[in-house]
Amino acid sequence: MDDNVYQQLANSLIASNGSQNPDLSELFRQQLDDADPKVKAIANYLIKRQAEIYNSEEVDDNEELMAAEPILEPDLSRRTASYNRLRRVTTKMYAELEDLRERNDTLAAALGSCYLCWGEDPDCEECQGRGKVGAFTPDKELFRQYVAPVVQTLKIKQQARHARKEGATQG
């Protein structure tokens, strides 16, 4: 994230007048205006997770604040704590986003699909909307790791169903 975004986040915290739960989701959404639709969906999920994380950490952070910053002016310490909490949550969100991107890219490679849009975006810079599953040669190792076990499980279940039907018609 560039310094301008951090400045906007800090300004949002200051504008919240020390509110315990400033709404920053709109700021995050603005950052994603030009993003891929799949990235937007992931970001919206992460914004919801931010609220959950924020609520679960609020008590711990307040106790931390009381112990670590007793000499600061109360309003300034609240803002500092809010800013620090925001940085931690933002860092967690970006780490989670990177993990999800890596999983997406890996699965797309295993299935021979466009890692950006999965063939659903005609304006995609990578595939122009032609990257549906199977459009590209799958990565053999990733295919073996992720797809082959599913195919094997389906074959076993199909064989078991067939055997049950055969047993029922003969019995």
Q: pLDDT digit of tens for each residue in the chain (171 aa)?
A: 455 656 666 666 666 555 555 555 666 666 666 666 666 677 667 667 766 666 665 445 455 545 544 444 556 777 888 888 899 999 999 999 999 999 999 999 999 999 999 999 999 999 999 999 999 999 999 999 999 999 999 999 999 988 888 877 775
3-state secondary structure of 131: coil
3-state secondary structure of 118: coil
| 98 in the same domain as 70 | yes
Buried b (16+ CB within 10 A) or exposed e, 6-31: eebbeebbeebeeeeebebeeebeee
Buried b (16+ CB within 10 A) or exposed e, 54-89: beeeeeebeeebeeebeeeeeeebbbbbbbebbeeb
Q: What is the pLDDT at residue 69?
A: 46
Could you tell me the two tokens for 45?
Answer: 């999920």
Q: What is the pLDDT at residue 68?
A: 47
| 86 in the same domain as 67 | yes
Q: What is the pLDDT at residue 141?
A: 97
The Cα 99–Cα 54 span in angstroms is 20
| 94 in the same domain as 14 | yes
Amino acid identity of 162?
H
| 39 in the same domain as 11 | yes
What is the distance in angstroms between the CA of the first residue and the CA of the last residue of the chain? 68
The set of residues, in sequence order, having a beta carbon less than 8 Å from that of 61 and lying 6+ positions away, is 81, 84, 85
| 61 in the same domain as 109 | yes
Please state the domain count of the chain: 2
| 167 in the same domain as 111 | no
The set of residues, in sequence order, having a beta carbon less than 8 Å from that of 68 and lying 6+ positions away, is none
| 152 in the same domain as 130 | no
Asked whether 101 and 113 are in contact (CB, 8 A), the reply is no
| 148 in the same domain as 95 | no
Give the structural domain span for 170: 140-171
| 147 in the same domain as 120 | no
| 10 in the same domain as 42 | yes
| 170 in the same domain as 134 | no
